[in-house]
Amino acid sequence: MPNKAIALVTGGAGFIGSHMVDLLIEEGCEVRVIDNLSGGREENLAHHHSNAVTLEHRDIRQIMPGDAVFQGVDYVFHFAGLGDIVPSIERPLEYMSANVQGTVQMLECARFAGVSKFVYAASSSCYGLADVPTREDHLIAPQYPYALSKYQGEQACFHWHRVYGLPVNSIRIFNAYGIRSRTSGAYGAVFGVFLKQKLARKPFTVVGDGAQSRDFLYASDVADAFYLAAMTNRAGEIYNLGAGNPQTIKYLVELLNGPVVYLPKRPGEPMCTWANTSKIQAHLGWAPKVSFEEGVKRVVANIDYWQKAPLWNPDSIAGATKTWFDMLEGA
Ligand code: UDP
């Protein structure tokens, strides 16, 4: 990246966004963050000097083309949006608004600013129950509004690419984990759930028999991929992003080390997620740097961060996932 390039990170106070900010600062960029702090935390950026990163506490849907925050911006990394499955089933309008309309708003601002690249944080959930290892040309089958909204946001990106020539790349993230993963809000994201249980010396709530696996990727490796997707001359590309090396929940429990309680399997949940990463390796020269064992070590070393996370147990999980079971059972 040319020195003093200006990068804008939406959702930059959140989990993956804050790792993106770290990398951009390391690369010598001026970094601007837009975050409404609904899921993000200001303290996720506190380790940066106040003049290195500017935080605009605003909602992306309220920012219009021509806004000063976009002035002179070279690269946009779009992470802002709503996550989690269950609340998306309960409140689909909020998800479509934040994740689709919010993305459209950022695309239009980026077009107006004439940015060099817009990199979209897409979700592997667009594939539904996918064949593995999953390639980018796999059938699209979103199973719940969160997945649909992220996919439609991606469609909007490519529409802006085709119609307006906006240089866009999209990265479909599999299971990202790492320090600063979100501690607020709904039940979900196994790392947050287990780390809080470990802190509270309560049993890990393992779904099924724990033999299911996920393609976990450490957050700084995710940021590396986004950086390369911004720097490349390529545009209009979709990249799957995971470690390409799925890990079972059983193994995670073994690494975290503690007692276990078992929960019923969830409807519509894949046994395995696994990204085929050939394309991103070939196009961008990306490769993961942090092994699963090393990544787990890092989160455990920072476990106090999850003090603020909600503590889940089998009863509260049954309540929180009721909508999920009701809506998706037999779907
Ligand atoms: N999981 C679990 N206990 C929990 C939460 C999740 O065993 O309390 C498992 C879940 O079955 C899945 C994996 O952890 O196999 C990842 O779940 P998460 O919700 O983080 O991601 P997703 O299922 O959307 O990939």
What is the rounded CA–CA span in Å between residue 191 and residue 179? 10
Nearest atom in ligand 1 to the alpha carbon of residue 273 is 25
Nearest atom in ligand 1 to the alpha carbon of residue 175 is 25
Coil, helix or strand at residue 271: coil
Which residues touch 213 (CB under 8 Å, ≥6 apart)? 246, 247, 248, 249, 271, 272, 273, 274
What is the rounded CA–CA span in Å between residue 157 and residue 77? 12
Task: Please state the rounded mean pLDDT for residues 273-296.
Answer: 98
Which domains are seen in the chain, by residue range?
6-176+216-241 (3.40.50.720), 180-214+245-272+292-328 (3.90.25.10)
Residue 1 confidence (pLDDT) above 90: no
Q: What is the mean pLDDT of the chain?
A: 95
Position 3 confidence tier, pLDDT thresholds 50, 70, 90 = low
Among 126-130, 286-290, 321-325, whose mean pLDDT is lowest? 321-325
Q: Is 95 a catalytic residue?
A: no
Q: Whose CA is nearest to atom 24 of ligand 1?
A: 189
Task: Please state the rounded mean pLDDT for residues 190-206.
Answer: 97
Position 2 confidence tier, pLDDT thresholds 50, 70, 90 = very low
Output the CA 112–ligand 1 centroid distance in Å. Answer: 40
Proportion of the chain above pLDDT 90, given as a percent: 91
pLDDT digits (tens, 9 = 90+) for 18-76: 999 999 999 999 999 999 999 999 999 999 987 889 999 999 999 999 999 999 999 99
Pocket around ligand 1: residues whose beta carbon is below 6 Å from it? Answer: 175, 188-190, 193, 205-207, 212, 214, 249, 269, 273
Task: Please state the rounded mean pLDDT for residues 197-220.
Answer: 98
Query: For a pocket test of ligand 1, which of 196, 214, 247, 265 has the largest count of ligand atoms closer than 8 A to its C-beta?
Result: 214
Q: Return the pLDDT at 246.
A: 98
Q: Return the pLDDT at 331.
A: 54
Output the CA 99–ligand 1 centroid distance in Å. Answer: 22
Which residues touch 59 (CB under 8 Å, ≥6 apart)? 36, 102
Position 269 confidence tier, pLDDT thresholds 50, 70, 90 = confident
Query: For a pocket test of ligand 1, which of 249, 254, 292 has the largest count of ligand atoms closer than 8 A to its C-beta?
Result: 249
Query: Which position has the higher pLDDT, 75 or 2?
Result: 75
Residue 330 confidence (pLDDT) above 70: no
Task: Please state the rounded mean pLDDT for residues 88-115.
Answer: 98
Position 259 confidence tier, pLDDT thresholds 50, 70, 90 = very high
Q: Return the pLDDT at 165.
A: 98
Q: Which of 95, 127, 144, 146 is catalytic?
A: 146
Of the candidates 298, 310, 271, 290, which has an alpha carbon nearest to the alpha carbon of residue 192? 310
Q: Exposure of 301 by Cβ count < 10 A (0-12 exposed, 13-18 middle, 19+ buried)?
A: exposed
Amino acid at 128: G
Q: Whose CA is nearest to atom 14 of ligand 1?
A: 190
Q: Name the token pair of 86.
A: 């269950």
Nearest atom in ligand 1 to the alpha carbon of residue 191 is 20
What is the rounded CA–CA span in Å between residue 132 and residue 178? 24
Residue 123 confidence (pLDDT) above 90: yes
Residue 232 confidence (pLDDT) above 60: yes
